[in-house]
């Protein structure tokens, strides 16, 4: 079986408080984006994991596809599989590609081995793999709270808007991004801001990581400003970076403007 794990952008990201478990309570809106990896899983006499496409740092056993398989195998009598992941979504860009791979692996294994796991059960397993894995089991815009695993419906729709996504050759670790955060209480919730016209989002819908990340990596902040100068209605860094996106009211091709950077554009759904 072959599936296409998609990525996400964050519409706003407020870091609200520290938690006793070492994580942080956040508030964000996860929005699905049609940039995808390719994941194939088939039954096999022995377990194997292979990959192609973009290089994925770290040992194979640390890959979330492998972790998802190992997690289910501890509790269910599932057989061996061959997993092949063709990586298109860059790692470490704040797009959640790894989390998506893990979530889609759980869903595929559920189908292959007829485990008959319900959506809440799949979500429970997904939350054990990563904070935002649960979002990728649903493929709909969701408000994320807690560590990001507490998901709530939202009416926000970006249908008929167009996204430009760019990633500079800079790696921002999640730990590094959180280390630069100054916890403050936002004036408005993200849900309240998303009810406003997008033309009012610019100075209201904030990613709390931007301030410290832009200071350390000015190229990321410059890309955000570039998006606005080229006509974006709204632009932001996604997650803890380093990806930057712009939302436009009409199709726009900026490859020549952003030569040498990872670039993707497409219509939002």
Hey, which residues are catalytic here? Answer: 8, 132
The span from the CA of 200 to the CA of 188, in Å, is 13
Q: List the strands of the sheet with 142-145, edge to edge.
A: 6-18, 24-36, 142-145, 150-153
- Cβ atoms within 10 Å, residue 45: 8
Nearest to 22, CA basis, from 144, 171, 124, 147:
147
CA gap 262, 266 in Å, rounded: 14
Count, in order, helices (H) and strands (E) of the chain. 7, 12
Alpha carbons 199 and 202: distance in angstroms, whole number: 7
């Amino acid at each position: 079986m072959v599936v296409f794990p998609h990525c996400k952008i964050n519409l706003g990201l407020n870091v609200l408080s520290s938690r006793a478990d070492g994580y942080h309570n956040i508030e964000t809106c996860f929005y699905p984006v049609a940039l995808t990896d390719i994941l194939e899983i088939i039954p096999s006499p022995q377990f194997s994991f292979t990959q192609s496409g973009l290089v994925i740092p770290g040992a194979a056993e640390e890959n979330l596809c492998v972790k998802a398989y190992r997690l289910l195998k501890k509790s269910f009598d599932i057989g061996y599989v061959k997993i092949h992941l063709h990586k298109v979504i860059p790692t470490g860009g704040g797009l959640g590609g790894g989390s998506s791979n893990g979530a889609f692996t759980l869903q595929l294994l559920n189908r292959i081995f007829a485990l008959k796991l319900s959506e809440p059960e799949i979500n429970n397993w997904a939350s054990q793999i990563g904070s935002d894995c649960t979002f990728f089991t649903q493929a709909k815009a969701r408000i994320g709270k807690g560590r990001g695993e507490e998901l709530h419906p939202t009416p926000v729709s970006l249908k008929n808007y167009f996204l430009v996504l760019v990633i500079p050759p800079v790696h921002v670790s999640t730990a590094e991004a959180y280390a630069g955060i100054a916890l403050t209480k936002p004036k408005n919730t993200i849900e309240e801001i998303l009810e406003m016209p997008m033309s009012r989002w610019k100075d209201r819908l904030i990613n709390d990581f931007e301030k410290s990340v832009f200071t350390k990596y000015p190229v990321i902040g410059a890309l955000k400003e570039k998006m606005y100068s080229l006509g974006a209605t709204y632009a932001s860094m996604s997650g803890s970076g380093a990806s930057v996106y712009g939302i436009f009211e009409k199709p726009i091709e900026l490859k020549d403007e952003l030569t040498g950077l990872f670039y993707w554009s497409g219509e939002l759904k």
